[in-house]
């Protein structure tokens, strides 16, 4: 064992001890670094983690994810102390939908039902009729009466995909995730030529031209299930590269290749810099000091809870 992995192991042990002492639970998104996923009590996508946050009896929730996810945990279980290892871990998609501009849009279309993807701020959730995740978005859209016009925000790529799947025309907010928009179609097709028996699987936050060549499009947990149940043994995976850790653990005998990004970077794949702001050390520090806490006003939490609960009832 190298010094680095030895240090990491002892830090993981310290996190586990502290977590037990403080009756804390660690919820980690699939896009977190492997060493964080290894100490987590639950690993999941947005919907799974929101449900875990709502149900936990722990006193402290350490949310290893990004800010809007930790906010959702706090809204769902307001009596808990919710900590985020780095409070600056934001999200390009959530940032692409500022509340004032969104309020203006709503004013122009007062008869529209507002559906928002969970990847938005708590304030945007207060302006929503119902929230959705990529796991349940289709069902949520289909639950809205056909004669009701819809505003969908903030992800235009997911919105376009849903319009095609449901046949519903929607007014789309012009937001996107920088990670899922980073995939290069040319490089993806080149890679596919090298692995012609591979299945291309993609998250619906990806651009339409990527989704069109995919054999499977689905949420993070949907992609995991697809790879597990498929008879194929090679997959090109178009979503944040952190998913590969859990996926490979589920199917160690299969070949998983991250889809290439437009810009060359060290791993030639797509990683979310916001997600990666959390480190094992920061996670330990925040649990020890309990200082990086998500604080939201009572009024904001009550208003944001309404569209989240509507979603959970339909999930």
Hey, which residues does 64 pair with through a beta bridge? 28
Q: In Å, what is the CA distance from 104 to each residue of 131, 148, 176?
A: 19, 20, 19
State whether residue 137 is helix, strand or coil. Answer: helix
**Least separation in angstroms between CB 270 and ligand SF4:** 8
Residue placing its CB nearer to ligand SF4 in the complex, 58 or 136: 136
Binder of ligand SF4 out of 114, 191, 201, 272 (CB under 6 A): 272
Is 275 among the residues that bind ligand SF4 (CB under 6 A)? yes
Is 115 among the residues that bind ligand SF4 (CB under 6 A)? no
Q: What is the per-residue binding string for ligand SF4 in 33-72, x denoting contact by CB under 6 A?
A: ---------------------------------x------
Residue placing its CB nearer to ligand SF4 in the complex, 275 or 280: 275
**Least separation in angstroms between CB 88 and ligand SF4:** 13
Residue placing its CB nearer to ligand SF4 in the complex, 161 or 274: 274
Residue placing its CB nearer to ligand SF4 in the complex, 29 or 52: 29
Residue placing its CB nearer to ligand SF4 in the complex, 19 or 44: 44
Binder of ligand SF4 out of 37, 72, 77, 119 (CB under 6 A): 119
CA 82-42-314 angle, 5° bins = 85
Residue placing its CB nearer to ligand SF4 in the complex, 19 or 161: 161
**Least separation in angstroms between CB 188 and ligand SF4:** 18
**Integer Cα distance of 201 and 34 in angstroms:** 21
State whether residue 264 is helix, strand or coil. Answer: coil
Residue placing its CB nearer to ligand SF4 in the complex, 151 or 243: 243
**Least separation in angstroms between CB 177 and ligand SF4:** 3
Q: Where are the alpha helices (DSSP H) in the chain?
A: 3-21, 34-39, 46-55, 67-76, 92-95, 99-108, 122-126, 137-142, 156-166, 185-194, 208-213, 220-229, 243-250, 280-289, 298-314
Is 28 among the residues that bind ligand SF4 (CB under 6 A)? no
Q: Quick one: which of 150, 155, 140, 190 has its CA closest to 170?
A: 150
**Integer Cα distance of 256 and 24 in angstroms:** 33
Q: Quick one: CA dihedral 262, 253, 198, 212, positive or negative? A: negative
**Least separation in angstroms between CB 198 and ligand SF4:** 23
Residue placing its CB nearer to ligand SF4 in the complex, 58 or 258: 258
Q: Quick one: which of 167, 239, 175 has its CA closest to 210?
A: 239
**Integer Cα distance of 26 and 211 in angstroms:** 33
Judged by CB under 6 A, which stretch of 91-99, 223-231, 290-298, 304-312 contacts ligand SF4? 91-99
Judged by CB under 6 A, which stretch of 87-95, 125-133, 140-148, 250-258 contacts ligand SF4? 87-95
Q: Quick one: which of 280, 282, 278, 284 has its CA closest to 18?
A: 284
Is 132 among the residues that bind ligand SF4 (CB under 6 A)? no
Over its C-alpha atoms, the chain yields an Rg (Å, rounded) of 20
State whether residue 300 is helix, strand or coil. Answer: helix
Residue placing its CB nearer to ligand SF4 in the complex, 119 or 219: 119
Binder of ligand SF4 out of 179, 201, 211, 286 (CB under 6 A): 179
* Contact footprint for ligand SF4 (CB under 6 A): 66, 91-93, 119, 177-179, 240, 272, 274-275
């Amino acid at each position: 064992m190298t010094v680095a992995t030895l240090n990491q192991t002892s830090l993981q042990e310290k996190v586990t001890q502290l977590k037990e002492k403080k009756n804390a639970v660690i919820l980690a998104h699939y896009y977190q670094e492997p060493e964080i996923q290894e100490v987590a009590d639950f690993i999941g996508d947005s919907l799974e983690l929101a449900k875990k946050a709502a149900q936990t009896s722990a006193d402290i929730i350490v949310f290893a994810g990004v800010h809007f996810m930790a906010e959702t945990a706090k809204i769902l279980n307001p009596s808990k102390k919710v900590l985020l290892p780095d409070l600056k871990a934001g999200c390009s998609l959530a940032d692409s939908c500022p509340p004032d501009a969104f309020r203006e849009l709503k004013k122009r279309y007062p008869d529209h039902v507002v559906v928002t993807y969970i990847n938005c701020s708590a304030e945007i959730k207060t302006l929503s009729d119902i929230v959705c995740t990529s796991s349940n978005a289709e069902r949520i859209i289909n639950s809205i009466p056909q004669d009701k016009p819809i505003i969908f925000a903030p992800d235009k790529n997911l919105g376009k995909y849903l319009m095609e799947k449901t046949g519903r025309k929607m007014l789309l907010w012009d937001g996107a995730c920088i990670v899922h928009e980073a995939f290069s179609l040319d490089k993806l097709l080149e890679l596919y030529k090298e692995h012609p028996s591979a299945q291309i699987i993609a998250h619906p936050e990806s651009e339409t031209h990527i989704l069109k060549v995919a054999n499977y499009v689905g949420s993070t947990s949907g992609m995991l299930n697809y790879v597990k149940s498929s008879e194929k043994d090679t997959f090109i995976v178009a979503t944040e590269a952190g998913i590969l850790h859990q996926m490979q653990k589920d199917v160690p005998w299969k070949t998983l290749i991250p889809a290439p990004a437009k810009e060359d970077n060290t791993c030639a794949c797509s990683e979310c810099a916001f997600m990666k702001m959390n480190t094992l050390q920061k996670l330990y520090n925040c649990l020890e000091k309990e200082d990086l806490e998500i604080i939201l006003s009572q009024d904001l939490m009550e208003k944001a809870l309404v569209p989240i609960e509507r979603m959970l009832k339909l999930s």
